[in-house]
Amino acid sequence: MKIGVVGCSGRMGRMLLKEILDTPGAQLAGGTERPGSPALGVDLGVLAGGTALGVGATTDTRALFEASDAVIDFTSPEATVAHARLAEETRTPLVVGTTGMTPPDVAALRALANRVPVVFAPNMSVGVTLLMALTERVASILGPDYDIEIVEMHHRHKVDAPSGTALGLGEAAAAGRGIELSDMGVRVRDGHTGPREPGTIGFATLRGGDVVGDHSVIFAAEGERLELTHKASSRAVFAKGAVRAALWTRDAGPGLWSMRDVLGLKDS
């Protein structure tokens, strides 16, 4: 299966190139970068940390979509929306791991999903996908006397907060409770806040160093506390999940899918 990578010279882009080259059944269709990028023309094999393949990074995103059986996108919300339009025009399945997507951005992916498979997840890690499934299940079992708090930490360069993964965990907890995160989420506490509102889902954001991604969901009640935690030590886990998702689209119909669909956990 031929898989293309947009934004191929960034940290994630390079890992995606390497993972595609290392995965049986996957073939690298090409990679693109924004105009003016110093990576333009650089051999994709070299960008992946290996030997030259004779194919360099280009700016011709349309040609990449036309040549690919699926495209992986870990770029920016604005670029991802533009790529969604290309995916619709070329009928190319799209795997999106871009963070910081707004509701209108997600709506653009949902519109594309009426025509082609789209896998969209705030975190492509298999472990985090399991954590989200567990969070929903635990939230459905534990009563409202268990307060839910989500704590996340990332490297100092991350620009969005809370992380997309933390918000995904909040959505999972809210689904388990049968509530809307938009109604019950608390992202900021400062000053004299008063006592904790019952039923809310709180978020705490930490930034520093080179932390790839730590996420914990805490269920706290009188007398006990249950914590579910995932820690990523390498971004390679995201690349592995994304390539797995791209291969999965080969047999998927149109729809806005998640990594839980890819792993067969939707009904668990």
**Catalytic residue numbers?**
154, 158
Annotated binding site for (S)-2,3,4,5-tetrahydrodipicolinate: 155, 164-165
Annotated binding site for NAD(+): 7-12, 33, 97-99, 121-124
Q: Burial, 47: exposed, middle or buried (Cβ in 10 Å; 0-12, 13-18, 19+)?
A: buried
Annotated binding site: 7-12, 33-34, 97-99, 121-124, 155, 164-165
Alpha helix ranges (H) inside 42-96:
44-47, 61-67, 77-90
Tokens of 262: 């890819």
Amino acid at 144: P
CA nearest neighbour of 148 among 180, 186, 121, 178: 186
Phi then psi dihedrals of residue 152, to 5 deg: -135, 150
Give bridge partners of residue 151 from the DSSP assignment: 204, 216
Annotated binding site for NADP(+): 34
The Cα 8–Cα 28 span in angstroms is 11
Tell me how many degrees the CA angle 251-257-260 measures, rounded to the nearest 5: 95
What is the greatest pairwise CA distance in the chain?
63
Give bridge partners of residue 145 from the DSSP assignment: none
Give yes or no for a contact between 234 and 15, defined as CB atoms under 8 angstroms apart: no
